[in-house]
Chains A and B, each alone.
Chain A
Amino acid sequence: MSTTLTAAPPTGLLDLYGEMVLIRRFEEAAERQYKAARIGGYCHLSSGQEAATVGTVAAMQPDDLLVTGYRCHGFALARGVSPEAVMAELFGRRDGCAHGRGGSMHLLDVSRGYYGGWGIVGGQLPIATGMALSLVRRGAPQAVLCELGDGAVNMGAWHESLNLAAVWNLPVVFLVINNQYGMGTSVERASAEPDLFKRAGAYRMTGERVDGDDLEAVIESAGRLLAAAREERKPAVLEAITYRHRGHSVADAGLAYRTREEIEERKLADPIERTKALLRERGVGDEQLVAADAEAEAAVERSIAFAESDPAPDVDRLAAGMYAPGSGGQFERMMPGSPLGERELVFSGGLGE
């Protein structure tokens, strides 16, 4: 659900508010399901970052491409992936958006131009850069929005990707979601240049900072930078300042490196409340807000019901997806002398399907 950015009519903003609430309710539900051991592995929640998430995605064109790190539930939902597909993926079920094979960190939806969901900090940057390269090669009027966290800016991949984007004039906007902490380490402790947007200057690239909790400001900045990328092939860095209410992941209480006071204080500046206030200013009535809240709750409930009833992936297809369809024949001659189980689990486990 993306909207054009300049004039955001109240209905548009209301829709975006609805998306923000959907994300918040979804993340709360994900946390409960995780603690009930229905969701396994790592589960990184974006509660508190809804304005930055929804605003930047709203600024995208429908055929722009999105690439993110692993704190990606909100981005997937904002980009239009159904809550059912996301929750089923978190539950590891067959109809999850990655068919139960990726989990929380590896969401995607190619039909909506969302190319994941990546688990290695900074690993998605070169990939996003390569996608932008492909857009240039085809002369396509599209851009790539590449999301990353404040912790990723110190990875070598940041440097190599930004350099490549700048020297080749690639249409990619690097969105740094600065929630002040890379896992448990504050930006000040980790980064020699903590004004992260300034690092774009090392590549003579545009770098801007925006209040990530101000929905309209986010839409404006992101829209402008994406347009420059799309039309003028100018890459950019957009640093969105925000805060995450929960820990790094569900397994992190988030208290070892932050004080309760700080968290409570930041919660007072909840972007959802800010957006609500903004909507009221614009004349949106409470019934509409309540309806949006209720719709979000219902959508999350439906997603859980769907995920619970969806079957698990077929164990007999353990190797499905690993190689392109038709590759099975290439591996037939590898079977003699293989380790125990290889034949049953892999060669006959959907290899090349």
Chain B
Amino acid sequence: MTAATEAKADPSVTGPATAGTELMTYREALRLAMRQEMQRDPSVFVMGEEVGVFDGSYKVTAGLLDEFGPDRVRDTPISEEGFVGAGVGAAMLGERPIVEIMTLNFLLVAMDQVVNHAAKIGAMFGGEVRCPLVIRTPNGAGNQLTAQHSQSFDAWFAGTPGLKVVSPASPADAKGLLKAAIRDDDPVLVIENLPIYKEKGEVDVDPELVTPIGLAAVAREGSDLTLVTHSFATVRALKVADQLEAEKGVSVEVVDLRSLRPLDVETVAASVAKTNRALCIEEGWPTYGVTAELAARIQLACFDDLDAPVERLGMAEVPLPYAKELELAAMPTEERIAAAILRTLDLAP
């Protein structure tokens, strides 16, 4: 099977609804994954601010406290460095903590525990001890949350050896990848997204169905251009691709990365070999970002297949301002994506 068909064969991505699937939101899919894993394995527990009594600041953990009790759904004080580190320690003893960080912006105060501790344990201690920790947190912007609350530092973590980083774009993958992360014996950062929480999709509820880490998916087939995206950028890209096909007859292929580390370059390269053009999109800042890494790998893996330089699109490189007009101008909105697609195809006015 080629890379593309292998990715497509994964039913959690594009398969038709079967008896075991339900239509649900991305946040419901995350909740389902946690419930199933907590039922399956007593060492799985949830820790974070407002995850219990408050039902979760974004309602992802709603109902879990009632079902599993306060020992397994723990409200923490506001002390990210403290409770992320606690998650590291518990994981080292064989527990499988799921640490919820309210947004990726707040993971900064715990960077030392994530990068200097969790990511180093396996290598630094010669493989003697593992750290099967999951940190889940949404990135993304919109709703005028302003500079400190609108960042997407995916690249900072995806660039750290010793970590694994996944970023599902669909409810099916939210369930599949969070399960994979929980079952994985290494520290996994699951990057969700604020606007994506309400997106709906078919989810196979089979408790044993897990999305493999390190495998991208061709979310939409096309022939003129490959869009490489993850997280909410995938959602936007799919909408724009349908629109442009109808309006301008361009045929755009969308590769949804799903995992950032490990990164499935094979699927991306197979797609670019077919379409000969690539546009990489992310929610964060492109300079030194995820799209920078993609562009470097694509130019190397697909050098003789490129009909144009690899383009990138992301958040404008400014701390995001408050005013709605300014925010929209800076974000990688559907309008900016459409314009970027046409530009990459040399069809721009």
Binding site for B on A (CB under 8 A): 65, 67, 96-102, 106, 108, 110, 115-120, 123, 125-135, 137, 156-157, 159-161, 163-164, 167-168, 319-324, 327, 329-339, 346, 353
Report, nearest first, the 9 A-B pairs whose CB atoms are least far apart: A126-B85, A130-B89, A160-B82, A337-B297, A321-B127, A99-B126, A130-B86, A337-B301, A324-B185
A160-B81, A167-B77 known; A323-B122 Cβ under 8 A: yes
Give bound CA distance, A45 to B20, whole Å.
62
A102-B126, A127-B92, A322-B123 known; A333-B264 Cβ under 8 A: yes
Q: Do B126 and A127 touch (CB < 8 A)?
A: no
Binding site for A on B (CB under 8 A): 3, 45, 71, 74, 76-77, 79, 81-95, 97, 112-113, 116-117, 122-130, 132, 161-162, 164, 184-186, 212-216, 259, 261-267, 269, 296-302
Q: Do A321 and B185 touch (CB < 8 A)?
A: no
A120-B117, A134-B93 known; A324-B296 Cβ under 8 A: no
Q: Which of B112, B126, B130, B215 contacts A100 (CB under 8 A)?
A: B126
Residues of chain A with a CB closer than 8 A to B184's CB: 324
Residues of chain B with a CB closer than 8 A to A134's CB: 89-90, 93-95
Residues of chain A with a CB closer than 8 A to B162's CB: 322-323
- B135 CB to closest chain A CB (Å) equals 13
- A346 CB to closest chain B CB (Å) equals 8
Total A-B pairs, Cβ < 8 A? 193
Chain B residue at minimum C-beta to C-beta distance from A96 = B126
Q: Which of B85, B215, B297 contacts A129 (CB under 8 A)?
A: B85
Residues of chain B with a CB closer than 8 A to A320's CB: 126-127
Question: Can you report 11 residue pairs joining A to B where beta carbons are below 8 Å apart?
Answer: A67-B89, A131-B93, A133-B86, A160-B79, A164-B82, A321-B126, A324-B122, A333-B214, A333-B216, A336-B300, A338-B300
Q: Do B214 and A131 touch (CB < 8 A)?
A: no
Give bound CA distance, A161 to B45, whole Å.
19
Q: Which of A164, A321, A324, A330 contacts B86 (CB under 8 A)?
A: A164
Q: Do B45 and A327 touch (CB < 8 A)?
A: no
Q: Which of B81, B125, B264, B297 contacts A108 (CB under 8 A)?
A: B125
Chain A residue at minimum C-beta to C-beta distance from B265 = A336
Q: Do B113 and A126 touch (CB < 8 A)?
A: yes
A98-B128, A102-B125, A322-B123 known; A130-B90 Cβ under 8 A: yes
Q: Which of B83, B95, B129, B269 contacts A126 (CB under 8 A)?
A: B83
Residues of chain A with a CB closer than 8 A to B261's CB: 334
Q: Do B76 and A164 touch (CB < 8 A)?
A: yes
Q: Which of B77, B88, B267 contacts A163 (CB under 8 A)?
A: B77
Give bound CA distance, A22 to B164, whole Å.
42
Q: Do B79 and A127 touch (CB < 8 A)?
A: no
Chain B residue at minimum C-beta to C-beta distance from A347 = B262
Residues of chain A with a CB closer than 8 A to B113's CB: 123, 126-127
A320-B127, A336-B297 known; A137-B89 Cβ under 8 A: no
Give bound CA distance, A243 to B222, whole Å.
71
- A215 CB to closest chain B CB (Å) equals 29
Residues of chain A with a CB closer than 8 A to B297's CB: 336-338
Q: Which of B212, B266, B300, B302 contacts A330 (CB under 8 A)?
A: B212
Among B113, B117, B124, B129, the most chain A Cβ lie within 10 Å of the Cβ of: B124
Q: Do B82 and A163 touch (CB < 8 A)?
A: yes
Q: Do B265 and A335 touch (CB < 8 A)?
A: yes
- A322 CB to closest chain B CB (Å) equals 4
- B255 CB to closest chain A CB (Å) equals 12
Q: Which of A131, A135, A161, A323 contacts B82 (CB under 8 A)?
A: A161
A115-B129, A134-B95, A163-B77 known; A336-B82 Cβ under 8 A: no
Give bound CA distance, A127 to B296, whole Å.
37
Chain B residue at minimum C-beta to C-beta distance from A157 = B81
Q: Do A336 and B214 touch (CB < 8 A)?
A: no
Q: Do A337 and B186 touch (CB < 8 A)?
A: no
Residues of chain B with a CB closer than 8 A to A161's CB: 82, 85-86
Residues of chain B with a CB closer than 8 A to A334's CB: 214, 261-265
A323-B162, A335-B265, A337-B298 known; A126-B215 Cβ under 8 A: no
Give bound CA distance, A130 to B81, whole Å.
12
Give bound CA distance, A324 to B121, whole Å.
11
Give bound CA distance, A174 to B112, whole Å.
20
Give bound CA distance, A353 to B198, whole Å.
40
A118-B117, A123-B117, A337-B300 known; A164-B83 Cβ under 8 A: yes
Residues of chain B with a CB closer than 8 A to A324's CB: 122, 130, 132, 184-186
Residues of chain B with a CB closer than 8 A to A133's CB: 86, 89-90
Give bound CA distance, A151 to B76, whole Å.
26
- B346 CB to closest chain A CB (Å) equals 24
Q: Do B123 and A157 touch (CB < 8 A)?
A: no
A123-B113, A126-B89 known; A157-B82 Cβ under 8 A: yes
Give bound CA distance, A163 to B82, whole Å.
9
Give bound CA distance, A39 to B305, whole Å.
50
Chain B residue at minimum C-beta to C-beta distance from A111 = B128
- A269 CB to closest chain B CB (Å) equals 36
Give bound CA distance, A160 to B79, whole Å.
6
A108-B128, A324-B130 known; A131-B266 Cβ under 8 A: no
- B295 CB to closest chain A CB (Å) equals 10
Among B117, B262, B298, the most chain A Cβ lie within 10 Å of the Cβ of: B262
Among B113, B123, B161, B267, the most chain A Cβ lie within 10 Å of the Cβ of: B123
Q: Do B89 and A331 touch (CB < 8 A)?
A: no
Q: Do A126 and B123 touch (CB < 8 A)?
A: no
Residues of chain A with a CB closer than 8 A to B86's CB: 126-127, 129-130, 133, 161, 164
Give bound CA distance, A116 to B124, whole Å.
10
Give bound CA distance, A96 to B127, whole Å.
12
Give bound CA distance, A161 to B113, whole Å.
12
Q: Which of B45, B126, B262, B302 contacts A137 (CB under 8 A)?
A: B45
- A68 CB to closest chain B CB (Å) equals 13
Q: Do B123 and A127 touch (CB < 8 A)?
A: no
